Homo-oligomer: A and B are copies of this chain.
Amino acid sequence: MHPSTEEARERAIALASETMAEIIDFWGFKGSMGRIWTLLYLSSASMSADTIAEQTKLSAGAVSMSLTELMQWGLVSRDPLTGDRKRHYQAETDIWAIIRRIIRERELRMVERAVDRFSRAVAVLEEANAQVPDDREVTFMLKRLRGLLDLTRIGYRLVEKLAKDGQISLLPIRGTLNPEERP
């Protein structure tokens, strides 16, 4: 760690961690989680919470909470071998494994919930339709809602497959998205 490279290292960290903050924020995590992960990812040595706080200019509390969440998602782990009172943290580097876990534990659940709710909406309308048949508007809504439900189910299988083996083809979607236009 030559001192004269410090400025360059700092600039690189700033650029990379801001970028990662944006990406991770887009995925619904706090930007500071992205910054902390990047800081650790770009450091050859593991870091203590107070060093992280210092470098990211976050409070001790914020760092503690972010680290907890990062560890819950498996993005960061504790360094077991550190001759120090303080705990040290290191970034998980298998990014593909991280992505799969997040897809499995979060995106899949979201799509699952969507399938469930769209199904309930369809059920409500089917019930009304049984009571009062031939209501034009109910028939229309049912058609569209079933299309949405079909699509969401396809999405579920896609995300499931992606989480499982990192392979995906969107081909089966085409042509089923506009159910009312089917022959």
Within 8 Å of chain B (Cβ to Cβ): is A127? yes
Which of A115-159 touch B at CB < 8 Å? 117-118, 120-122, 124-125, 127-128, 131-132, 135-138, 140-141, 144-145, 148, 151
- How many copies altogether? 2
Contact (Cβ within 8 A) A137 B44: yes
Q: A60 — which chain B residues lie within 8 A by C-beta?
A: none
Within 8 Å of chain B (Cβ to Cβ): is A2? yes
Instruction: Select from chain B the residue with minimum beta-carbon distance to A120.
Output: B15
Q: Indicate whether A23 sits within 8 Å of B110 (C-beta atoms), given known contacts A8-B128, A124-B11, A145-B16.
A: yes
Q: Indicate whether A141 sits within 8 Å of B177 (C-beta atoms), given known contacts A26-B28, A136-B44, A168-B170.
A: no
Contact (Cβ within 8 A) A16 B118: yes
Which of B16, B96, B145 interacts with A12 by CB under 8 Å? B145
